[in-house]
Structure 1
C-alpha cells in the first residue's frame, strides 16, 4: 500500500487486464525464487508505526497532510484517516543492538510528528485505538485526500454492495453498520518486518504465526472502542470486520481480507498464489512494463500492489530493492504506549519466532495456534493458551509468556543480537507481566478512576500522552 496510486476510478477492462498481469507476475515470481542466490543476505529488520493526531483535549485532529508538510520528512506518510500518520523507520541489521536503535529512532520520529502537529494546534500519540473517538469522527470527510484511499474504498464497495457490519462481544457489546471502510482508521499498529531467505521463509512464517499468540497477550493496548469495553486488543476484531469484502456471494471463502489464516504454509509461492486465486483486486493500477537490468529483480508492481490490499496478520512481502528479497511482515502488534514498550514487544516477537523456526511447529495443531491468537486478543494476560510440548494443557498467557522468555532470548542470540541487548528488552516484558500492567490494563484502570464517559476518556488520553512522553515503559506508570 506504500506504492503510489495515480487515480481512484477504474474500468472493468482495467480489472481484467490487472488480473492478467497478476497471472503473468506469479510466473515471474516462481522463476525469480528459483534463481540461485536470490534473496541472500544478512537478516535485517524494519518497522512502521501508525499514530493518532489529537487536539489538546484528546480528540482526533484531522490534519495529517498539513502535519506531514510541516514535518517535511520522507519517513512520514498519511494513513487512511485524516487523523492518522505513519512513520516508516530505517531498516537495520538485526545483529548487535537493533532494539536500542529502534527505540532511538522511534523517540526521534515521534517527537518530529508531535512538533509538526503543534503547528496545527495539536499533538501526536501512539495508542492502539484512540478512546476518545466517537461515531461522528467516521464521516466521508475523515478519509485522507489521497487517490489510493479513495480507490481502496471504491474497490471494496465494488465487491461488497451491502454495508460493513461490525459485531464485537467483549465485556460489553458493540454493533454498528457503516457504508465505507473509514472504520479502519480507528486502528493503529506497530508493524515489524524481518528479512528472510527464500529457503527459510515457510518455517519462519509458521513460527511467527505460533509466536504472535503469547506476544499479543502481553502487548494489549486497545481495550475499548466508542465507549464500550471490548477485547484487550479490540483492533483485531475491528479491522477484520471493517474491511471484510465477503458479501453474500463470497461467504464460501474461508478467510476475510484481514485474517490470521487457516493452515500452516509450505512456501511463499503458495501464499502469493492463494492471494491471487482467492481475493479479487480492488485497485487495478497498471504500470508500464520495464525489463530489469542484469542483476536487478523485477518490480512485479501489480502483484505487490494486490498483496498490499490483503492484510493478513502476518504477511509475506516481496521487495525488488537491492536485487530483491523477501520479508515476513508482522502486523498484529498495537501502536504504543512508548518506544521502550514497542521495542520490547518487537524483541519478544522476533526472538520467539527465531526460536520456534528451528522447531517442527507444523506438528502442533494449527487450530491451537489460531485459538491462541484470538484468545490473546480477547483476554490478554488472562487468556488460556496451549503450546508445543505441553500436550493438551492450557495455561494462563501470563505464565506462558514468562516461561517463553528464555526461548526468546536464545532466539535473539541465534540472530546475533548482543546478550545484554536481549536481556534489557525482554526484561521489560518480564516486569510488565509480573506487575500485570499492559497498556490495556492501564487504560481500563485509569478510566475506572476518571469516569468512563466522553470527558473521562479525553482526560485519560491526555494523561496517557503525558506519561508516554516520559519514555518510561507502561508497567512503571502510576494510575
Structure 2
C-alpha cells in the first residue's frame, strides 16, 4: 500500500488480468523460495511509526500533504487520513544495540514532524497551527466530523482502495465496540488508528516457526502495551484499535459469510509449511481491490534464469490484506522475507515503543525453537482479543502452564525468556535489560498508556495537550504523573 498509483478507477478486464497475474506470480514465488541460498543474510529489524497531527487545541490537524512537502524527508509518507503521517525507520542489525538506534531515530522523526506541525501557518481552513505530532493509538479528540470524504489524503491509491473495498462489499460497514455502534460507507475509519509496526527479516526455512512464535507472543506483549482506550468520547477496550480496524474494513457482506477471516485478521490456524501458504491463502480467499498492473518481465522465467522477480501484483495484494502478523516479500538486495508485526499501538514514548519491540522480538525468537502446532490455536487467538480488550487485567493461557494466568503475572514470568531470546540473537545484555526493565516497571505499576488516559481528570483536549508534552519528553509512561 506504500506504492503510489497513477489511477483510481479500474475496469473489470483489469481485475480479471490482475487475478491471472496473481496465480502466475504465486508459481514464481514458490520456485524462488525453493532456490538454495534465497533470502539468507544477517537478521535485521525495521519499524514504521504512524503519527497523528494535532492543532494548538489538540484537535486533528488535516494538513499532512503540506507538512510532508515542508519537511522533505524521504522517510516520511502520507497515510490514509489527512491528519496522519508515517515514518519509516532505517533497518538495523538485530545483533548489537538495535533498540538504541531505533529509539534515537523514533525520537528524531517525532520531533521533526512535531516541530514542522507547530510551524504551520494559522490561516488554514481548520484554524489550526501551533500544533504538533503525537504518537498515540487513537486520538481522543477525534469526532465523527473527522471522517468525511474530505478527510482522506489526496492520493489516487487511497481513493482507489476506497472504491475497491466498496466494490467487494456492497453493504455499509457496521462497527460495534461495546455500547458504540457506527454505520459507515467507507474505510476511512481506519485512519482513527495509528500503529508501531516491527519488521523482522527471516530466512525461508525459519519463517513458519518464527511466524507462529510471533502469533503466540503478541498476546502478552499487547496486554502490556495498551494505548487506545478512548474513541468518540467513550471508554472502550484497552486496545480499541484492534476491533475498530477489523470491523471498519470487514469486506464480508452477506455474499461472503463463508470466509473465516475478515480483511483485517489475526488468522485462524498455525502456519505449517512456510510463507507460501499465507500468500496462497491471501490470493485464494480475498478478491483484489487494487488491480494495478505492471509491465514486468515474466516472473517464472526471471526466477528460472536466476533473477529476482518484482512480483508487484502479488505484493500489492498482500498489502490489502491486513493480517496482524503479515508476511512480506521484498525483492530488494537480492530478495528476502520479513515478518511484519502490526498489532502494537503507537506511543506513548520512544522508550516505550522500543521496549515493546524488544519484548515482542525476544519472546518471538525464544518461542521459535519449539513446534507450537500441537498447541491449540484457539488459545492463542483468545489471548490476542482478551489482551486487546482488558490489557493487564486479562486472563491469558500459555504453553506449559495449567489453566489461565493473570496477564501481569504471565508477562513478568516471560521477561527472562525474552531476554534469553535477545541475547542469543546477539543483542548486548545492557540493551536487552534496559528495554525489558521498562516492561517490568510498567506491569508492576499497572501504568500503561491506556491506564494513564483512563485516569486523566481533564477533558479530551487537555488530555491530548498533556500527553503530547510527556510523550515528547521521552520519559517512559510508567513514570508519568
TM-score w.r.t. structure 1 length? 0.96
Q: How do 1:15-26 residues align onto structure 2 when only pairs under 5 Å count?
A: 15-26=15-26
CA displacement at 1:290 relative to structure 2: 3.0
- Structure 1 stretches of 4+ with a deviation exceeding 2 A read 290-296
Q: Which residue of 2 aligns with 1:398?
A: 408
Q: How do 1:416-431 residues align onto structure 2 when only pairs under 5 Å count?
A: 416-431=426-441
Q: 2-side partners of 1:196 and 1:63: how far apart?
A: 37
Question: Which of 256, 273, 276 pairs up with 1:250?
Answer: 256
Which sections of structure 2, spanning at least 5 residues, go unmatched?
A: 121-128
Q: Aligned pair 1:362/2:345, yes or no?
A: no
Q: How do 1:54-453 residues align onto structure 2 when only pairs under 5 Å count?
A: 54-120=54-120, 121=129, 122-169=131-178, 173-266=179-272, 267-290=274-297, 296-391=307-402, 393-446=403-456, 449-450=457-458
SS, match of residue 138 in structure 2:
coil
CA displacement at 1:20 relative to structure 2: 0.4
| Aligned 8 A contact 1:287 1:302 in 2 | yes
SS, match of residue 361 in structure 1:
coil
Q: 1-side partners of 2:266 and 2:108: how far apart?
A: 32
| Aligned 8 A contact 1:296 1:324 in 2 | no
Alignment deviations for residues 280-312 of structure 1 (CA, whole Å, 9 cap, x no partner): 000000001236597641100000000000000
CA displacement at 1:279 relative to structure 2: 0.1
Alignment deviations for residues 225-277 of structure 1 (CA, whole Å, 9 cap, x no partner): 10111100000000000000111000110000000000001111111110000
SS, match of residue 129 in structure 1:
coil
Alignment deviations for residues 403-427 of structure 1 (CA, whole Å, 9 cap, x no partner): 0000000000111100111000000
Q: Aligned pair 1:460/2:463, yes or no?
A: yes
SS, match of residue 105 in structure 1:
helix
Q: 1-side partners of 2:119 and 2:464: how far apart?
A: 20
Q: Which residue of 2 aligns with 1:453?
A: none
Q: 1-side partners of 2:406 and 2:82: how far apart?
A: 39
SS, match of residue 469 in structure 1:
helix
Q: 1-side partners of 2:83 and 2:347: how far apart?
A: 16
Q: 2-side partners of 1:409 and 1:287: how far apart?
A: 44
Q: 1-side partners of 2:119 and 2:257: how far apart?
A: 47
| Aligned 8 A contact 1:127 1:336 in 2 | yes
CA displacement at 1:459 relative to structure 2: 0.5
Alignment deviations for residues 202-234 of structure 1 (CA, whole Å, 9 cap, x no partner): 000000000000000000000021011110000
Q: 2-side partners of 1:34 and 1:137: how far apart?
A: 48
Alignment deviations for residues 110-160 of structure 1 (CA, whole Å, 9 cap, x no partner): 111112212322211000000010111110000100011000000000011
| Aligned 8 A contact 1:234 1:378 in 2 | yes
| Aligned 8 A contact 1:67 1:119 in 2 | no
Q: 2-side partners of 1:445 and 1:296: how far apart?
A: 56
Q: Which residue of 1 aligns with 2:48?
A: 48
Alignment deviations for residues 159-203 of structure 1 (CA, whole Å, 9 cap, x no partner): 11111110011xxx1101011111000000000000001000000
| Aligned 8 A contact 1:77 1:86 in 2 | yes
Which sections of structure 1, spanning at least 5 residues, go unmatched?
A: 451-455
TM-score w.r.t. structure 2 length? 0.96
| Aligned 8 A contact 1:68 1:116 in 2 | no
Q: 2-side partners of 1:116 and 1:278: how far apart?
A: 43
Q: 2-side partners of 1:359 and 1:227: how far apart?
A: 44
Q: 2-side partners of 1:422 and 1:290: how far apart?
A: 45
Q: 2-side partners of 1:298 and 1:115: how far apart?
A: 41
CA displacement at 1:6 relative to structure 2: 1.6
| Aligned 8 A contact 1:39 1:197 in 2 | yes
